[in-house]
Amino acid sequence: MADHYLEIYRQQKSFHNFKKQIVQTLTEAFGSTRLSQITYLDLEKHRNTRKATPTWRGETRSDARVNREMAVLKHMLNKAVEWGMLEGTPFKKGQKLMFKENNHSLRFLSEAEIEALLAVCPPHLRPIVETALLTGMRKEELLSLKWEQINHGLIHLIRTKSGNPRHIPISGRLVEIFQQLRHQNQLKSPYVFCDGEGRRFNSVKRSFATACRKAGIENFRFHDLRHTFASHLIMRGAGLKTVQELLGHSDIKMNMRYAHLSPGHLQESVNLLNNLATNPG
């Protein structure tokens, strides 16, 4: 089942190494068990085991990460039903197996943190991070970005996670970044972000983690640059609908998590009402 699933879905844009690792983990956990013998209790035990298992860095596995793993397992079992390998999925036989996530605690950088991070980014990483902050693009969208996708003042993303094309306006600062990269690249590579040999970067995980550590930034992932982009747009007056279009979310409900504001910004907002109850007499 796992091999069949991998063969079909590994070509999809959203099927990254993370999902492949999840499938491998599931194979190790349930490999000797027939699909029809997997029970709700087995799923519950697997969820709790994964939660109690530290990440490869020795960190506590987050509820969100466990939920992503369980979501892949759920999708695999649903496909097994569609393919006639299974009569029904045990996911439907009990309470929801997903942990409740606190979306209101999404991490985003303050302006001071952004400045500190950019100051310690190595030359190959800084333009990638800046572009993420200025566009809200996903990591894979950035690393696979080609020059042919940039024209008429827009970044054209055709193959996206949602399946819907996205066109992101290019700001003045981003024009400068792209011009610098073109000069360095000398058109030797079709990729915007590449090494000295013109090869695209497959990962910036290690260099990004190092930069965050040097900048004193904790509990921050590359994907949180996307949250930073959205949060700062909203703090500057952009509407949720605008943010939805820029991020490429199909449902505006997904953007409600970005409606949170920093405490400092909230204070500035209420200060606008200082004179509201003032009695001039």
Q: Is 68 noted as a catalytic residue in this protein?
A: no
Of the residues 34, 199, 214, 223, only one is catalytic, namely 223
Q: Is 227 noted as a catalytic residue in this protein?
A: no
Of the residues 138, 166, 227, 232, only one is catalytic, namely 138
Residues 6+ away with beta carbon under 8 Å from 246:
135, 136, 166, 168, 229, 230, 233
Q: Is 258 noted as a catalytic residue in this protein?
A: yes
d(CA 63, CA 100): 7
Q: Is 183 noted as a catalytic residue in this protein?
A: no
d(CA 162, CA 61): 26
Element (H, E) at 200: none
Element (H, E) at 155: strand 154-157
Tell me the helix, strand and coil percentages in the chain, rounded to 5. Answer: 55, 5, 40
Contact 132, 210 (CB under 8 A): no
Of the residues 65, 161, 221, 265, only one is catalytic, namely 161
Q: Is 138 noted as a catalytic residue in this protein?
A: yes
The owner of tokens 């011009």 is 179
Q: Is 236 noted as a catalytic residue in this protein?
A: no
Phi then psi for 236, rounded to 5 degrees? -100, 10
Of the residues 19, 74, 226, 232, only one is catalytic, namely 226
Element (H, E) at 139: helix 139-143
The owner of tokens 């290019």 is 170
Residues forming the active site: 138, 161, 223, 226, 249, 258
